[in-house]
Structure 1
Amino acid sequence: MIEIKGFVETSFLDWPGKICSVLFLPGCNFRCPYCHNHPLVFHPEQFASIPLKDILQRLHSFKGWMDGVCLTGGEPTLHVDLPLLIRQIKEKGFPVKLDTNGSNPEMLDDLINKKEVDFIAMDVKAPLDIFSYRRSIGLSIELGLISKSIEILKRGKVEYQFRMTVVPQLHSEYEIETLGEQLKAGPKLILQNFNPENPMDPSLKKMNPYDPKFLKELERRVQNMV
């Protein structure tokens, strides 16, 4: 069974328009230099595992006002028993949101077709070219997997959004607009500023994020690309 390494009982940020609990799952197949959850990726053993039965008991006490449960990481789809975890949560009456990097389109497609997830947030790391993606995730990946996941979500069988965490040193204005043109996702593409406090690459601590007003204007522009 999946080890759960973190449990936030109440979040107003992780599911748009909803109050949710958040479960953190260990491990990731990407090495994004700006990742702020890297201890969970590299050293999950440093975090105590939280028994699922304890979490389910807490969730039961939230019935009536909690809108759902968000599964994040790390990368949740690395775990072959993720569908079982989702079913156990849904059996308690809670909708499930899944955060993913889109590297496992087969699992996403299966979860959607079986109606086991209610919302998917996919982090798209860069424009869809090999160089940009490798620079943003710290290794090489078959871009066809990412493109397939995008295609699956755009079929519209489940609520979804695409998120891009932007780092000025990695993502130029042109590259962000290029991704907007590639996705043509309208308001479903969200731009997020990176957090320089605890990135995997320590050199990024010295870097300034984009100006929030500029980023909001850039988000407006890419959301108009449909």
Structure 2
Amino acid sequence: MIEAHDFTAGIRHHEEEWRMRICGLQKLAMVDFPGKLAATVFTGGCNLRCPFCHNAPLVTHLEEAEHFSEEEVLDFLRRRQGLLDGVVLSGGEPLLHDGVGAFLRKVRDLGFAVKLDTNGCFPDALASLLEEGLLDYVAMDIKNQPEKYPLTVGVSGFDIAPVRESVHLLARSGVDYEFRTTAVREFHTAEDFLAIGRWLEGAPRYFIQNFVDSGNLVGTGCHGFSPQELQAFAALLQPFFNTVDVRGI
């Protein structure tokens, strides 16, 4: 487990390094952006160390990850105008990068809708994108109930206040959004999901995603749940949200 200040202290001091580090491009994503055919752009780097994260090359092994220039990605998108509806910006954690707004303006200028995947740790950056109207859909990861966040995200002394602020921002934004939690046997219980429900009550959508070992995990020793267990968690959450569903079964 890392200390909160150890990883984040120097990140934003290296503006050029983190302006827009693109480490992956999925040219066709049929389910990542609800109702749209999309391409997914993956940024490298994350402020969290969730042991169950399946994108370790984008978190702890950046030197081994692919690298795409912004212009390479934009050239690809120009060739897909009229064929794709949207672009998903995922990670890693995209809001680590100071150049996100500038990049998304260019994506918008090409006529694409934008979905953001985020862990909610950077509410100021999220607020800026929302205020500028650069986002059509936001999927925010909820790692666990608040009291278990430091353990779950692998950051000792983690401050959940920014995550709470991002939750409030989305509720007030008028932008379509969802919350989602990756269910991991070593980190989540029925009581945890009930606590999440009470915390986020009234949100339009909440999804439980079963943990799947990609072979590229940040940590070790993580396991998913049976379909029956996941459905039982979903049933507990039904009273709190407009829509509750399970993914990955």
1:223 aligns with 2:238: yes
Residue 136 of structure 1 is matched in structure 2 by: 152
Which segments of 5 or more consecutive residues in structure 1 lack a partner in the other structure?
none
Give the C-alpha shift of residue 217 in structure 1.
Answer: 3.6
Q: Deviations over 1:52-75 (max 9, x none)?
A: 222222212222231100001100
Q: For 1:35, which of 30, 33, 53 is the aligned residue?
A: 53
Give the C-alpha shift of residue 106 in structure 1.
Answer: 0.8
Q: For 2:199, which of 155, 179, 182 is the aligned residue?
A: 182
Give the C-alpha shift of residue 187 in structure 1.
Answer: 4.8
Greater per-residue strand proportion: 2
Residue 93 of structure 1 is matched in structure 2 by: 111
Distance of 2:232 and 2:189 partners within structure 1: 14
The aligned runs of 1:145-164 (5 Å cut-off) are 145-164=162-181
1:79 aligns with 2:97: yes
Distance of 2:117 and 2:94 partners within structure 1: 7
Give the C-alpha shift of residue 84 in structure 1.
Answer: 0.8
Q: Deviations over 1:69-122 (max 9, x none)?
A: 000110000111111111111111111111000000111111111101111110
1:214 aligns with 2:232: no
Scaled by the length of structure 1, the TM-score of the pair is 0.92
Residue 193 of structure 1 is matched in structure 2 by: 210
Distance of 1:45 and 1:124 partners within structure 2: 28
Distance of 1:216 and 1:63 partners within structure 2: 39
Please say if residues 178 and 203 of structure 2, whose CA atoms lie closer than 8 Å, have aligned partners that are also in contact. no
Distance of 1:174 and 1:83 partners within structure 2: 38
Change (3 A) 1:113 1:186: closer
SS of the counterpart of 1:203? coil
Distance of 1:47 and 1:149 partners within structure 2: 29
SS of the counterpart of 1:90? helix
Which segments of 5 or more consecutive residues in structure 2 lack a partner in the other structure?
1-18, 242-249
Residue 66 of structure 1 is matched in structure 2 by: 84
1:10 aligns with 2:60: no
1:170 aligns with 2:187: yes
Q: Which amino acid is the alignment partner of residue 120 of structure 1?
A: V
Residue 46 of structure 1 is matched in structure 2 by: 64
Distance of 2:221 and 2:236 partners within structure 1: 30
1:24 aligns with 2:45: no
SS of the counterpart of 1:126? coil
SS of the counterpart of 2:22? coil
Q: Decide which moves more: 75-84 or 49-58.
A: 49-58
Aligned length: 221
